[in-house]
Chain A
Amino acid sequence: MNMEEMSLPLHSWFWLIVPMFSVFLLSILNYIMSRSRKSESSRTSIRKDSDGNEPVSG
C-alpha cells in the first residue's frame, strides 16, 4: 500500500507545541533572570565593601 505522507492540522500543531514549550521557555528565562539578579547583588556587595572593608568572596 502506498502510504502518502501527511501532516497534523495546524491547530493540533499549535496546541501540541505552544503551551507546553512556553512554560518550559518561561522557566529557563526565570532561571537566567535569577542568575543575573544574583550576580548583580554580588557586585553590589563587593562595591559596598570596597569602602575600607574586606571584599566579600563569591
Chain B
Amino acid sequence: MNTATVVTFILYLCALIAFGILFYRFSETLSDYVLGGRKLKSGVAALSAGASDMSGWLLLGLPGAVYAAGLNQIWIAIGLSIGAFLNWQFVAARLRALTEMTGNAITLPDYLEQRFEDRTRVLRIVTATVILLFFALYTASGLVAGAKLFESSFGWGYEPALLAGAAVIVVYTFLGGFMAVSWTDFFQGILMFLALITAPIMLVFFFENWGTLVAGVAEVDASFLDVYHEMTLIGILSLLAWGLGYFGQPHILARFMAIDSPKSVPKAQMIGIGWMVFALFGAVFVGFTGVAYFAESPLPDPEFVFLVMVQELFNPWLAGILLAAILSAVMSTVDSQLLVCSSAIAEDFYKGLLRPSAKNRELVWVGRISVVAVALVALVIAWNPEAMVLELVAWAWAGFGASFGPVILLSLFWKRMTLQGALAGVITGAVTVLVWHYLEGGWFNLYEILPGFLFSAAAIYVFSMRSEPPSRSVTDKMDGM
C-alpha cells in the first residue's frame, strides 16, 4: 500500500473524529443527541439517508455481483430506487409532521406508542426489542465488512482491523451523536458519489468508447449483456421486492423525522433520489467494465473489483480518497444503526420504562454509553470472521421491512388503524419473514419480505377492524395533518 494512500486515509479518519468533537457540545437534550433537534437541512438529510442506507454493498456487493454475473443483477437496483422514491414521496413528510404532533416522539417505538395511545407500553417494548435485536446483527455485519476492507487494503490482521474500524466509528458517534453522524454521512455520501462517478468516466476513456467496452464484456460472456439471463419471474420479483424494505428501516426513517420541516422534503427527495440513481448506475458500471478490464486476469474475489480498479487507475493520493469512500459506505451505515439502538435504549427503555423523570443531561449520557454497549455486543458477534453475519443482512432488511413497513405506512394514512392492528402487523411481519426464510420450493423461493409485507398489512386490517375504533383524540391527530 502506497504511503500517499495511507496518509490520505489517515487524514480522512482524523476528519471523522473531528466532527465528533465539533458536535459534542451540541447535544443538550436526548432529542439533540438522537435526532439533531429536528434541525437537519434537506441536503444533509438526503445524503445522510442515502449513505446510511447504502453500506459496503454499494461499492463492494453490487459491483461484485455485476462483475460475476452480468446485468441481470440490475433488478435489485431498480427495486431499491423505486422503494426509496416511494418512501420519500409517501412517508417522509407525514412521518416528520406526525411524530412532532404525537408528543414530539424521537424514536419509532415512541411514535407508535403515542399514535395509538398504548398505555400498556407493549408496542413500545416489542418494537424497541425488534430494533435492538436486528440492528445488533446488522451492525456486526458492517463491522465485519469494514474489517475485511482494512485487512485487504492495509494487510492488517482481522481482529486489529475490526477494533480499529469500530473504534473510529464509536468515537465520533459517542461524542457528537446525530449531528456528527449526519454530517459525516453527508461528506461520506459525497465521497461515495464522486468515487462512483469518477471511476466509470476513467474506464470509458480506458476503453476508448462504449461499443468497444461492450464487445470486451461480450468476449468474456455474452449473457452478461442480458438483464433477463437466468432470471425467473420469482427471481425478478424477489429482487424488486427489496424496495419494500425502505418503509420500515429505522435508521432511514430517523432522517425523515429529523428534517427541519415537512416543507423541506421535496428538495431532500430530489437530492436523495438523484444521488441514489447516479450512485447505483456508477456501481453497476464499475462491475460491468470490470468484466472487460480484468478479462485477461480474473479477480479471485469479485467484491474487490472496485478496490483493485481504483488502485490501478488512480494516482495514490486519489486512491486514498477513493479507498476512504469504500470505508465511508460501511461507516455511514454502522454509525446510524448504533445511534438508533442508542435511542431505543435511552428513550424507549430507560426513559420510557425505568426513569420517566430523567433529566436531559442524564439521558444524553445514557445515549452515549448505549452507543459503546451496542458496539461491544456487535464486536463480539463480529469477532469470528467466518460467522455468517453478512448473510443475515438480507434477513434483517426483510425483518424490518415486513414488521415495521406496513405498520408505519398505515399508521400515517389510515385513521381506523388500532393498537391491536399495529401489534398484529409487527408480529405477523416478523414471524412470516422468519418462517418463510426456511421454506423452499416454488413460491417459497420468493424473498421473504414480499409475503411478510403483504401478510402484515392483512393482519393490520383484520385486527383493526375487529377491535374497537380508536378514540377521538387519536383520530384528531390525523385530522390535524
Query: CA of A30 to CA of B272 in the docked complex: distance in angstroms?
Result: 13
Interface of B is mostly: helix
A5, B267: Cβ atoms closer than 8 Å: no
B227, A15: Cβ atoms closer than 8 Å: yes
Query: CA of A16 to CA of B70 in the docked complex: distance in angstroms?
Result: 12
A39 at interface, CB cutoff 8 A: no
Query: CA of A31 to CA of B266 in the docked complex: distance in angstroms?
Result: 5
Q: From B281, which residue of chain A is reached at the shortest CB distance?
A: A20
Question: Mask for B235-266, Cβ within 8 A of A = 1, else 0?
Answer: 00000000000000000000000000001001
Query: CA of A23 to CA of B85 in the docked complex: distance in angstroms?
Result: 6
Contact of B211 among A7, A11, A26, A34 (CB under 8 A): A7
Quote the shortest CB–CB distance from A27 to chain B (angstroms). Answer: 4
Residues of A within 8 A of B77 (CB): 20
With A5-B212, A9-B225 in contact, is A16–B267 under 8 Å at CB?
no
State how many residues of chain B have any CB contact under 8 Å with chain A: 36
Q: From A23, which residue of chain B is reached at the shortest CB distance?
A: B85
A4, B263: Cβ atoms closer than 8 Å: no
Query: CA of A12 to CA of B75 in the docked complex: distance in angstroms?
Result: 11
State how many residues of chain A have any CB contact under 8 Å with chain B: 25
A23, B81: Cβ atoms closer than 8 Å: yes
Tell me the residues in window 209-225 of chain B with beta carbons closer than 8 Å to chain A beta carbons: 209-212, 214-216, 218-219, 225
Could you tell me which A residues sit within 8 Å of B by CB distance?
3-9, 11-12, 15-16, 19-21, 23-24, 26-28, 30-31, 33-35, 38
| 9 pairs from A and B in contact (CB 8 Å cutoff) | A5-B211, A6-B211, A8-B71, A20-B78, A20-B81, A23-B273, A24-B277, A28-B274, A38-B263
Beyond A6-B218, A9-B225, A16-B284, list 8 extra A-B contacts (CB 8 Å): A6-B214, A12-B71, A23-B81, A23-B82, A23-B84, A24-B81, A31-B269, A34-B267
